[in-house]
């Protein structure tokens, strides 16, 4: 079968297009040089392996010989995996949103040979449909414009490039806005809860109309508000959302884990792809809700989700794959739905035919179909998540039947950021739930990533697949890796993890900070902030500093949270100074629009609540008291005493709680420590 230039790619997404008739190039100097030499515009197509509409456009257009002929004659076509190259994705998404007012994938961008966009869109159908022009018509129009109206094309390219650069500079512009310093944390949280309450769905939870995306940071803000007593209704905002998601079809009741989003307001019909990132972030929300409410159902969701991750996404190398596709055999969701006949067949094959009616009623697998003539399993609101012996047997039988079907493709690339994100959740959940296997899995994930994604000179890389690495690590990769190492230290007391966290954090500052970093100390006179790409990265149209959180936290949000936590864990005020500088740069948004930067707002509030518990040596009963409680911003310093100021003059077998400049009396009594910790809620 003939191949194009994507055949040597590491990305499974690019490899999906390696045998198409389109003469695809990966992003790189070769494609840009060819475009310049031939004086052809670029056609940049950006997507990811588990994207349903990316598959649709690939089948409808890129597999078509006639469409490919037009592309090959008039354009230099470039395929980009947005997960490997978030920097390119961010730049061209900014241009797409500037033109269309919205974004999404697949993203389709026409650009000058030097990469300046002049026409942008997302999915284009093969022919005119629903008010959207057909792709071939768009191709011909862009080719004509390039040849016959070059001046107009150049003007549009400059217009969109200016818009991209303006957005990239927003973080610096925001930092220069007049403000009276950082707002009071209590005021920030009050404003955030008011914004959430205004958007809240009181029946099904969530903070937007359909399609509904889980927004873990917003749930966490509501949990924090409930914890601090800021708003009496905040607990309901969080628990209603968590309860409805855990019963809806967005949650996989047979195998565990969450789909990307719900197409309806009730969380019933998911978009079936599963991303490692969603599992990591939602696990934290459910874990913290369990700590706050003691509701065992939340712990059940955590365990089932993490078990799915370890069962389905862990490779033989010990690291985690990126995602599972929404499609199997070209049909969205068919691998996950049932009909009354397939339910009965699966249960009878397992000798459980007598449970057919009960199982059908529990999971709503009869009546009005929920998805394309079939049924997505879901539970009634208020139904218990727990299963008795019969229901567990029925669940296992249906799960086994699902596994016998043609399975969706798995994106087998290993992304450093995403692996570290899951490892941080595994480490924290393992400590809280008393599950050493999760902590061990987290350690294995991080160790593998450090082994395969560290270049010979120590530079971290972003992506690994089939024994090969690609792309330089971004600021988010570094920030999440440091966070994962810090969480492993708190879960194990192993000081090597703390040292590793500090090493990665230092490298993040040196490689990405906008300004001088001397012996790990930033210069307050410099612009400050973290570029998303390193000083050694390829120069693109713009070099942004992320402000707004999306499906995953912005790099600056993750870094601020990590530096705040690590500053207390390692007793390094210079890290605290970095966190506070990152908060200060976004002070106007913290004050006026806190939910627009939900992850940074959460980091800021946890920073304000920050405390440290120091337990020298190994005292499980005291450590357990800390892990049992919801203590946003509190860090745990424990393990064998080493030369660190936090252990100086402190006795093994005792706990030392300090918040700000105030310390409680040391105690060896778990009950006394618990009472001390329960006083930390006030902002």
Between CA 41 and CA 308 the distance in angstroms is 44
Question: In the prediction, which pLDDT does 176 show?
Answer: 87
List, in sequence order, the alpha helices (H) in 169-275: 170-176, 185-199, 216-228, 234-247
pLDDT at residue 335, as a whole number: 93
Q: What is the pLDDT of residues 11-42, one digit of tens each?
A: 999 999 999 999 999 999 999 999 999 999 99
pLDDT of the residue at 642: 67
* pLDDT of 641 strictly over 70: no
Residue-level pLDDT at 485: 98
* Mean local confidence (pLDDT), 586-610: 96
Determine the angle formed by the axes of helices 276-293 and 416-433, rounding to 10 degrees: 20
pLDDT given at position 129: 86
- CB under 8 A, 24+ apart: contacts of 377-384: 377/249, 377/253, 377/254, 377/338, 378/247, 378/248, 378/249, 378/253, 378/267, 378/268, 379/247, 379/248, 379/253, 380/247, 381/203, 381/204, 381/243, 381/244, 381/247, 383/247, 384/297
Whole-prediction pTM? 0.96
Q: What is the mean pLDDT of residues 303-325?
A: 97
Confidence of residue 649 (pLDDT cuts 50, 70, 90): confident
Structure-block tokens of residue 230: 């800021």
Q: 605-616 pLDDT, tens per residue?
A: 999 999 999 999
Report pLDDT digits (tens) over 482-506: 999 999 999 999 999 999 999 999 9
Check residue 122 and give its pLDDT: 95
- What's the confidence (pLDDT) of residue 528? 95
Q: Which of 250, 167, 188, 176 is nearest to 215 (CA)?
A: 250
Q: Model confidence at 643, in pLDDT bands (50, 70, 90)? A: low
Work out the percent of the chain whose per-residue pLDDT is above 70: 99
Please give the pLDDT value at position 645.
81
pLDDT in tens, 343-401: 999 999 999 999 999 999 999 999 999 999 999 999 999 999 999 999 999 999 999 99
Q: Residue 1: pLDDT band by 50, 70, 90 thresholds?
A: low
Residue 676 confidence (pLDDT): 96
pLDDT at 178: 78
At 169-197, the pLDDT tens digits run: 999 998 888 777 899 999 999 999 999 99
Q: What's the pLDDT band for 660 if we cut at 50, 70, 90?
A: confident
User: What residue spans define the domains of the chain?
Assistant: 5-168, 185-327+411-608, 336-405, 611-677
Q: Looking at residue 511, what is its pLDDT? A: 97
Q: Which CATH number fits domain 5-168: 1.20.120.10, 3.40.30.10, 1.10.510.10, 3.40.50.300?
A: 3.40.30.10
**Sheet containing 461-465, strands listed edge to edge, beginning at the edge strand earlier in sequence:** 414-415, 461-465, 468-472
Residue 683 pLDDT: 75
Separate counts of helices (H) and strands (E) for the chain: 26, 21
For 500-537, what is each residue's pLDDT tens digit? Answer: 999 999 999 999 999 999 999 999 999 999 999 999 99
**What is the average pLDDT value for the chain, to the nearest integer?**
95
Q: pLDDT-derived band of residue 410, with 50, 70 and 90 as boundaries?
A: very high
297 against 53, higher pLDDT: 297
| CATH number of the structural domain 185-327+411-608 | 1.50.10.10
Length reported for the chain: 683
């Amino acid at each position: 079968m003939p191949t194009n230039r994507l055949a040597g790619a590491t990305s499974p997404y690019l490899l999906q297009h390696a045998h198409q008739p389109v003469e695809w190039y990966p992003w790189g100097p070769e494609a840009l040089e060819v475009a310049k030499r031939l004086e052809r515009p670029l056609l940049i197509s950006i997507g990811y392996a588990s994207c349903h509409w990316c598959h649709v456009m690939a089948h409808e257009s890129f597999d078509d010989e006639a469409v490919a002929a037009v592309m090959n004659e008039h354009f230099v076509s470039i395929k980009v995996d947005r997960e490997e190259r978030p920097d390119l994705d961010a730049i061209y998404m900014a241009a797409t949103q500037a033109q269309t007012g919205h974004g999404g994938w697949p993203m389709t961008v026409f650009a000058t040979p030097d990469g300046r966009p002049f026409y942008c869109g997302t999915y284009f159908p093969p022919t005119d449909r629903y008010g959207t022009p057909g792709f071939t018509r768009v191709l011909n129009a862009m080719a004509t414009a390039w040849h016959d109206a070059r001046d107009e094309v150049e003007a549009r390219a400059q217009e969109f490039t200016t818009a991209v650069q303006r957005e990239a500079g927003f973080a610096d512009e925001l930092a220069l806005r007049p403000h009276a310093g950082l707002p009071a944390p209590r005021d920030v949280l009050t404003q955030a809860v008011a914004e959430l309450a205004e958007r809240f769905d009181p029946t099904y939870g969530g903070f937007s109309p359909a399609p509904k995306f889980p927004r873990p940071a917003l749930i966490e803000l509501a949990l924090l508000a409930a914890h601090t007593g800021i708003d009496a209704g905040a607990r309901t905002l969080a628990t209603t959302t968590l309860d409805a998601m855990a019963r809806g079809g967005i949650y996989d009741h047979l195998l565990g884990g969450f789909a990307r989003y719900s197409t309806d307001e009730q969380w019933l019909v998911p978009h079936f792809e599963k991303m490692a990132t969603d599992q990591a972030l939602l696990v934290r929300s459910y874990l913290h809700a369990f700590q706050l409410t003691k509701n065992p159902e939340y712990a059940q969701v955590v365990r089932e989700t993490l078990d799915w991750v370890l069962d389905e996404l862990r490779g033989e190398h010990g690291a985690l794959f990126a995602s599972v596709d929404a499609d199997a055999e070209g049909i969205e969701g068919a691998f996950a739905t049932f009909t009354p006949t397939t339910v009965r067949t699966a249960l009878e094959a397992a000798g459980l035919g007598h449970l057919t009616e009960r199982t059908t009623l529990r999971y709503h697998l009869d009546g009005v179909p929920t998805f394309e003539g079939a049924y997505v399993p879901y539970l009634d609101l208020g139904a218990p998540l727990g299963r008795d012996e019969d229901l567990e047997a029925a669940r296992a039988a249906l799960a086994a039947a699902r596994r016998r079907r043609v399975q969706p493709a798995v994106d087998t690339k290993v992304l450093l950021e995403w692996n570290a994100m899951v490892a941080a959740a595994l480490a924290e959940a393992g400590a809280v739930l008393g599950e050493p296997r999760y902590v061990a899995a987290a350690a294995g994930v991080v160790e593998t990533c450090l082994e395969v994604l560290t270049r010979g000179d120590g530079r971290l890389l972003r992506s690994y697949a089939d024994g090969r690495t690609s792309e330089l690590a971004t600021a988010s990769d570094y920030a999440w890796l440091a966070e994962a190492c810090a969480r492993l230290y708190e879960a194990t007391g192993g000081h090597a993890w703390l040292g590793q966290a500090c090493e990665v954090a230092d490298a993040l500052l040196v490689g990405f900070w906008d300004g001088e970093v001397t012996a790990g100390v930033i210069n307050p006179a410099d612009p400050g902030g973290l570029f998303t790409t390193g000083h050694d990265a390829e120069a693109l149209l713009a070099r942004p500093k992320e402000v707004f959180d999306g499906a995953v936290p912005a790099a600056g949000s993750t870094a601020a949270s990590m530096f705040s936590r690590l500053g207390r864990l390692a007793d390094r005020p210079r890290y605290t100074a970095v966190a506070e500088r990152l908060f200060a740069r976004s002070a106007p948004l913290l004050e006026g629009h806190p939910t627009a930067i939900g992850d940074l707002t959460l980091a800021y509030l946890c920073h304000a609540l920050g405390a440290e518990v120091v337990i020298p040596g190994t005292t499980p009963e005291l450590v357990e008291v800390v892990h049992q409680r919801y203590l946003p911003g509190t860090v745990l310093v424990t393990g064998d005493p080493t030369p660190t100021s936090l252990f100086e003059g402190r006795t093994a077998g005792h706990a030392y709680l300090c918040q700000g400049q105030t310390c409680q009396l040391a105690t060896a009594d778990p009950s006394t420590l618990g009472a001390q910790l329960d006083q930390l809620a006030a902002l």
